Amino acid sequence: MKKIILLAVLLGSVGIVYAAGSHKGEHHTKGENSHWAAPRNAIEQLNPVPSNSHSISNGLKLFAELCSRCHGDQALGDGPDGSGLSVKPTNLKAMAGGHPDGDFAWKIKNGRGEMPAWEDDLEEKEIWHLVNYIQSLSEHSPKKKSNHKHGHD
């Protein structure tokens, strides 16, 4: 008898917690509050474009042309067109080096809300140039294979 009551109480509270949880975050999908996650297979995708100065400068050009109006010249999330949006453009510099290339690429391709999807407007290669540019803004050294002493390439 006691067991049954205990079980009922437990189930009841799970139900309450569940109901409370699903009320929040109207337009965000479940389990994800503010941060945005790309699907695992996209995150694991390797960057086919080497991050060299050629690629980074292409990325910089594209960024200045297409992205800085929202994300800001320094990718700090403070572009002039961002101020009127309901969701602020992300500070991409702060994310650089802390997220895999595939994560950025997927988000750039697919967009979300006020962030446009670029898949149809950009070539695959251009998306990776943008990723290389964003990663190059990292202040903490990006996770790279080599563990050599400091020193920029």
**Closest distance of CB 57 from ligand HEC, Å:** 15
Show contacts with ligand HEC in window 40-99 (CB under 6 A). Answer: 66-67, 69-71, 81, 85, 87, 89-90, 92
Nearer to ligand HEC, 116 or 142 (CB): 116
Round to whole Å and give the CA distance between 47 and 127. Answer: 10
What phi, psi does 123 have (nearest 5°)? -75, 155
Round to whole Å and give the CA distance between 51 and 142. Answer: 12
Of the residues 55, 130, 135, 136, which one makes contact with ligand HEC according to CB under 6 A: 130
Nearer to ligand HEC, 16 or 117 (CB): 117
Round to whole Å and give the CA distance between 95 and 132. Answer: 13
Handedness of CA 41, 42, 43, 45 (dihedral sign): positive
Of the residues 40, 54, 112, 143, which one makes contact with ligand HEC according to CB under 6 A: 112
Round to whole Å and give the CA distance between 12 and 18. Answer: 10
Nearer to ligand HEC, 21 or 98 (CB): 98
Round to whole Å and give the CA distance between 33 and 24. Answer: 9
Of the residues 42, 47, 116, 142, which one makes contact with ligand HEC according to CB under 6 A: 116
Tokens encoding 77: 């999330």
Of the residues 56, 60, 96, 108, which one makes contact with ligand HEC according to CB under 6 A: 108
Residues forming contacts to ligand HEC in the complex (CB under 6 A) are 36, 66-67, 69-71, 81, 85, 87, 89-90, 92, 104, 107-108, 112-116, 118, 130
